[in-house]
Structure 1
Amino acid sequence: MSEQRFLKEILPNILPGIDVIEELGKGASAVVYKASDESLGRTYALKVIQNINQEDPLIPASKDNFKREKDILLTVNHQNVIKLHQIVEFDDAAALLLEFASGGELFDRIVEKTCYSEHDAAQCIKEILLGLQHIHDKGIVHRDLKPENLLYENSSDASPLKLADFGLGTIMKEGAHKMYTICGTPGYCAPEILCSVGYDEKIDVWSAGVILYILLCGYEPFSDETNNDKEMFKKILNGDYEFHSPEWDEISESAKDLVRKMLVVDPRRRVSVQEALDHSWIVSETNSTRQLPEVTVKLREFNSKRRLKTPMNAISAVNAFKIGNHNHGNGFQLSLQKKEESQ
């Protein structure tokens, strides 16, 4: 069934009163629209998904993938996680009626600020961690935590920040300790995903650590001016990042300490979400009120480049750069061993 036929012929019958306003975004198998119900005076994000009856889990929005996303959205209920209002299914398509986060993406919101401080960064990461704590407590792993999937509920200063888009999320089976599916977005993927050595919920902590690093300086920890993805992957595998001068000179040691604890290559030594929430920098939300105008400038540049860059998923990246058990797995294990010996 075509997307347009679903919208024009099927949707009005299964979701009467819902009017599609505009397209918000498009992926491999899903399109997200802004929609409204004038009778209730509500606005929604309408996610239309195709191919939901495909049996192959490698096909985007296949039956297994759709079932996982549906089960996750039916399970979560937290102010820092996007809410599901309704699910409808028809033939080989489905529509998810989701909470509309009118406040926009995290980084877009920051670059619009006239004042931005370490305190603001601490509040952002605290809300991300609270959302992760909720889903991890339910056995859910997001697996694609990145700026595009962090949305503000509304435009008010007190608006909660929410985890969104659970299309790659999964619920860990009872008794399972590791997952092996390669997924996510390269710049935010944990080393253990790229090396196919098995992973757990700690991958979300790594991704949050990457986001925290960017919040404090305005650029990514593992990229460089060459924008060479292969070099970026090598840096991720080795945990090779720096607190450059002058950008990091005035950032508190407590904030740097949390970054160090989240961006640990060995997931066994990486902090959990709860340990990150208990960190002194988060607990005090930092006493620093020093403004960080340099960060908003660099973040504006980062945002522009991010939107222009052709997205690559982790599967494509691993295949392209031949990162896996047979090629770099030993290097990854050696990296863990060296780090253990130095600690």
Structure 2
Amino acid sequence: RAERCSVAQLISNLLPNVGKVHKEIQHRTSFDLPSDDSSVTLADIEHFYEIGRVVGDGNFAVVRECCRRDNKQTLAVKIVERSKLIGREHMMQNELSLLGSLCHPRIVRLLAHHHTHTHSYLVMELVSGGDLFEAISERGKFPEGESGLMVSDVSEALNYIHCKSIVHRDLKPENLLVSIEHMAAGICRLKLADFGLAMVVTEPVFTICGTPTYVAPEILCETGYSVAVDVWALGIILYILLCGFPPFRSRDRDQEELFQLIKQGQLHFLSPYWDPISEGEKYRNIKSLLQPDPTVRLTAEQTLMHPWVKAMASICRQRALTDTTQRDTAATGAEPDKSRLVQRLIQTNAAKTVPDKTPADANILPHLTQRTHMQPPIVHKCTPSNP
């Protein structure tokens, strides 16, 4: 009987429409951290889910593939050791309350949550392609077409949460998961994840938080910030995607020097790494995203509608469509459409960049030699500079 009650409690913790990842939820639930008298046990969890291989890890959690035993749905479960969250309980609360309230195809869906005395289990949709950090580490950099599509994906997600007055505050490649829906065409589609530092903003925020390489100047200047900090981080990511290294870097990994460079906001497009990139992209879109003044920085919506982003995303979507058509044709044994093959070849060649080269100064890549999650995000309260 006790086991049946515990499993019933597990089922009751499923969010609405657990099997319909892309449909809007009609009913929302608010969450709090579980109390220590929770009756769910590890045995209950394993009775309801088959826990599989590790697909990701971080400072506070490990992510594993899992399968619901009742309907064989393949999912992911984020297993958080609660003792490691002492003093950071708000991160779990944010993950549950904010991520649990969101439903967007470019945001990882939280489907259920269960808690034992020692661990919390956050069940999410499975995104099987790893994260963007891994993709950058493997490929070095990306052509403009793919970079534009990824910026479009992230802008969609940011525009969605910004319209709800939610700021992510820790946008970085490690928190962007790669969907394999078009992997055969060599195209990365992204989903935004990890809402541990996210919050609803109704007035300027003065908490210093984020990951050093991606932190916006207004956070460092302690003048108050809002959702524009996410767009700054997107600009940093776009810069890295196109050339393979971040725009602001300290030769000796000096964090104070890095922060000073960020506050100055002087961009450099070094040759030969930027030579293949179109002039308009270098001097308009990236500079518009990386404006030190947040009031003149592009918004997520403006980024989504930017001509370069729309054009590059369109090229990649057409490429994915062509690839799908070719695979369908191969499967049916029909004669391939040569005009489509020629178009694909033209698009592929147009998207190529010069071969990857390592900058002469090896220290130019200080923040991409290891995962930034190995160093926890900076988070501390400060006194507002302008009360």
TM-score of the pair, normalised by structure 1: 0.77
User: Corresponding residue for 2:353?
Assistant: 292
1:18 aligns with 2:49: yes
Judge conservation of contact 2:141–2:241 (CA < 8 Å) in 1: no
Shift of 1:35: 2.2
CA distance in 2: counterparts of 1:111 and 1:65, whole angstroms: 27
Q: How does 1:245-324 map to 2 (within 5 A)?
A: 245-256=271-282, 257-285=284-312, 289-295=350-356, 305-307=369-371, 310-315=374-379
1:184 aligns with 2:184: no
Q: Secondary structure at the match of 2:115?
A: strand
User: Corresponding residue for 1:337?
Assistant: none
Shift of 1:253: 2.1
Which ranges in structure 1 are unaligned for 5 or more consecutive residues?
1-8, 319-323, 331-343
Q: How does 1:166-245 map to 2 (within 5 A)?
A: 166-172=195-201, 176-245=202-271
Name whichever of 306-315 and 230-239 sits farther off.
306-315
User: Corresponding residue for 2:76?
Assistant: 45
For residues 316-340 of structure 1, give each alpha carbon's deviation from its aligned partner in whole angstroms, at most 9, with x where no partner exists.
8x9xxxxx779xx79xxxxxxxxxx
Judge conservation of contact 1:29–1:50 (CA < 8 Å) in 2: yes
- Report the CA distance shift for 1:308/1:265 in structure 2 as closer, same or farther (over 3 A): closer
Judge conservation of contact 2:253–2:366 (CA < 8 Å) in 1: no
Judge conservation of contact 1:210–1:263 (CA < 8 Å) in 2: yes
Q: Secondary structure at the match of 1:285?
A: helix
Judge conservation of contact 1:100–1:153 (CA < 8 Å) in 2: no
- Report the CA distance shift for 1:87/1:310 in structure 2 as closer, same or farther (over 3 A): closer
Judge conservation of contact 1:88–1:95 (CA < 8 Å) in 2: yes
Residue type of the partner of 1:160?
Answer: R
Shift of 1:138: 1.7
User: Corresponding residue for 1:77?
Assistant: 103
Residue type of the partner of 2:239?
Answer: Y
CA distance in 2: counterparts of 1:208 and 1:116, whole angstroms: 15
For residues 142-189 of structure 1, give each alpha carbon's deviation from its aligned partner in whole angstroms, at most 9, with x where no partner exists.
1100011111222633663100111111122xxx22112221111001
Residue type of the partner of 1:267?
Answer: P
For residues 7-31 of structure 1, give each alpha carbon's deviation from its aligned partner in whole angstroms, at most 9, with x where no partner exists.
xx81331563312223444444333
Shift of 1:112: 5.2
CA RMSD of aligned residues (A): 3.3
Judge conservation of contact 2:235–2:289 (CA < 8 Å) in 1: yes
Match 2:192 to one of 139, 151, 163: 163
1:102 aligns with 2:128: yes
User: Corresponding residue for 1:128?
Assistant: 154
Judge conservation of contact 2:59–2:373 (CA < 8 Å) in 1: no
Name whichever of 247-256 and 127-136 sits farther off.
247-256
Shift of 1:135: 1.2
Name whichever of 190-199 and 122-131 sits farther off.
190-199
CA distance in 1: counterparts of 2:247 and 2:355, whole angstroms: 16
Judge conservation of contact 1:83–1:98 (CA < 8 Å) in 2: yes
1:36 aligns with 2:103: no
Residue type of the partner of 2:107?
Answer: V
Query: How many residues were matched structurally?
Result: 304
Shift of 1:68: 2.1
Judge conservation of contact 1:86–1:98 (CA < 8 Å) in 2: yes
CA distance in 1: counterparts of 2:354 and 2:276, whole angstroms: 12
Q: Secondary structure at the match of 2:237?
A: helix
CA distance in 1: counterparts of 2:371 and 2:91, whole angstroms: 26
CA distance in 1: counterparts of 2:68 and 2:358, whole angstroms: 38
User: Corresponding residue for 2:21?
Assistant: none
For residues 260-299 of structure 1, give each alpha carbon's deviation from its aligned partner in whole angstroms, at most 9, with x where no partner exists.
001111111111111111222112228782412435878x
CA distance in 1: counterparts of 2:101 and 2:286, whole angstroms: 30
Judge conservation of contact 2:247–2:268 (CA < 8 Å) in 1: yes
CA distance in 1: counterparts of 2:199 and 2:181, whole angstroms: 30
Shift of 1:101: 1.1
Q: Secondary structure at the match of 2:379?
A: helix
Q: Secondary structure at the match of 1:98?
A: strand
Q: How does 1:52-63 map to 2 (within 5 A)?
A: 59-60=87-88, 62=89
Bigger Cα Rg: 2
CA distance in 2: counterparts of 1:145 and 1:239, whole angstroms: 18
Which ranges in structure 2 are unaligned for 5 or more consecutive residues?
1-39, 316-346, 360-364
CA distance in 1: counterparts of 2:59 and 2:373, whole angstroms: 16
User: Corresponding residue for 2:93?
Assistant: 67
